[in-house]
Amino acid sequence: MLTLDDVRLTYNGGTSAEVRALRGVTLTIPAGEFVTVVGSNGAGKSSLIKLVAGEERPTSGRVELDGRDVTRLPVHRRARDVARVFDDPRAGSLPELSIEDNLALALSRGQRRRLRFAVGGERRALMRERLAVLGLGLERRLADPVGLLSAGQRQSLTMVMAGLRDPRVLLLDEHLAALDPGTQRRVLELTTAMVRRLGCATVMVTHNMEHAIDVGDRLLVMSRGELIADFSGERKAALSVEALVETIASAGDAVSDRMVLREEAAPAGAGR
């Protein structure tokens, strides 16, 4: 369970360049709930992710994981509980290193690392099994450097890496943004299947209204550092892209083209 209690985040506080990225967000996401987050640029979506991951510390407020206060814990000490998939496939992997080295690093996420070989027979078997699910043939390329993979293959790999050790919170930060529409669909299917298997609290930030509506149990709308709407159950099922856009626009935010474009019509790589 992830709990945010009146979390505020201010950059450059007290100067003329002050930016209030989060203005008091209170939120509880129970284990097993899949939440999607939408909002225009500068709404605070990425700040929310960074705060939970530990990359930023809130100016005030508390972050709790299963009732444990983690507000001041640095990134590496939260890693046991928090798995994260970055928006840029390059950010979430080590391009120079082989697929098996990348997976081995993720296999030790949040564990005590020891002086034993990182890649062994047992671990390889597990890697092959997990990669085979993707249907990309990566299970036969364990020794290849990750830099040789396409963006979609890499993002699929980082998804597998995130799910190797069961996290309590899974953070997906616009993880489809750099992919072409066909690949987006495949990775999205992979995402829903994985979230179901892991049964952890999941936060998926997206700029794509259709994705936000189609997947997940609950949809949050952010604007200017605040939560302005919270849809779940039947209310979420009844949502349309138009209604969602109306919600954002009524808060006074500009709705950019890429948010309302249909998936089919979006040019490849529109997210970047």
Residues that bind other proteins in the complex, under the rule CB under 8 A:
53, 74-77, 79-80, 82, 84, 86, 91-98, 100-101, 104-106, 108-111, 113-119, 143, 145
**SS3 at position 27:** strand
Question: Please, what is the minimum distance in Å from the beta carbon of residue 111 to other proteins?
Answer: 7
Question: Please, what is the minimum distance in Å from the beta carbon of residue 176 to other proteins?
Answer: 19
Which of 49/219 has CB closer to other proteins? 49
Which of 113/235 has CB closer to other proteins? 113
Question: Please, what is the minimum distance in Å from the beta carbon of residue 171 to other proteins?
Answer: 9
C-alpha span between 18 and 140 (Å, rounded): 51
Question: Please, what is the minimum distance in Å from the beta carbon of residue 73 to other proteins?
Answer: 11
Which of 55/180 has CB closer to other proteins? 55
23: Cβ contacts below 8 Å, ≥ 6 apart: 8, 44, 224, 225, 226
Structure tokens at 3: 């709990």
Question: Please, what is the minimum distance in Å from the beta carbon of residue 64 to other proteins?
Answer: 19
**SS3 at position 93:** coil
Which of 103/259 has CB closer to other proteins? 103
List the beta bridge partners of residue 189: none
Helix (H), strand (E) at residue 147 = none
List the beta bridge partners of residue 231: 219
248: nearest Cα among 41, 87, 9, 24: 41
Question: Please, what is the minimum distance in Å from the beta carbon of residue 66 to other proteins?
Answer: 17
**SS3 at position 59:** coil
Q: How far is CA 39 from the centre of its chain?
A: 15
C-alpha span between 36 and 217 (Å, rounded): 8
Which of 110/271 has CB closer to other proteins? 110
Which of 19/91 has CB closer to other proteins? 91
C-alpha span between 220 and 222 (Å, rounded): 7
Question: Please, what is the minimum distance in Å from the beta carbon of residue 119 to other proteins?
Answer: 7
Which of 20/84 has CB closer to other proteins? 84
44: nearest Cα among 13, 21, 62: 21
Which of 41/111 has CB closer to other proteins? 111
- Between strands 169-173 and 82-85, the pairing is parallel
Residues belonging to the chain: 272
Q: How far is CA 166 from the centre of its chain?
A: 15
Question: Please, what is the minimum distance in Å from the beta carbon of residue 144 to other proteins?
Answer: 9
